[in-house]
Amino acid sequence: MGPKKVKDSTKEFEEVLALAGNRKYVLRLYVTGATPKSVKAIRNIKKICDEHLKGRYDLEVIDIYQQPVLAEGEQIIATPTLLKKLPLPLRRFIGDMSDTERILLGLVLRPKEK
């Protein structure tokens, strides 16, 4: 067996950042009123966006009680649900957005472990 190769995660992270460049992220968070889970999801996704997408995102929070037609059109069956509309591909995240690593991977802001 030869020497074990050490992964350079800094290089991978820089590659992902270069790919992401200045792309604008369009996100929609569907919630149900001001429930504790909805409030937590809003707080969590805003924190993630402020830390990792500073100035490169549009986040629209939609209360499905007030705008049920939008939720129907997007086929939202559970809340909170975050939709990443742009950049493509479309992604959906369900839950209170507390799993930051999963969100960052889904938004392609973190490289996947190989």
Residue 6 lies in a domain: no
CA dist 63 and 45 (Å) reads 15
> Is 91 part of a structural domain of the chain?
yes
Range of the domain at 91: 22-106
Q: Is 13 inside a domain boundary?
A: no
Residue type, 22: N
CA 27, 76, 62, 40 dihedral sign is: negative
The per-residue pLDDT for 62 is 97
Residue 46: inside a domain: yes
Please state the pTM of the whole predicted model. Answer: 0.77
Residue 109's pLDDT is: 83
Task: Tell me what pLDDT residue 105 has.
Answer: 93
Other beta carbons less than 10 A from residue 49's beta carbon: 19
Residue 2 inside a domain? The answer is: no
Domain count, the chain: 1
Q: Tell me the CATH number at 44.
A: 3.40.30.10
- Whether 84 is in a domain gets the answer yes
What is the tens place of the pLDDT at every residue in 75-114?
A: 999 999 999 999 999 999 999 999 999 999 999 887 666 5
Query: pLDDT tens, 2-50?
Result: 555 555 566 665 555 555 556 899 999 999 999 999 999 999 999 999 9
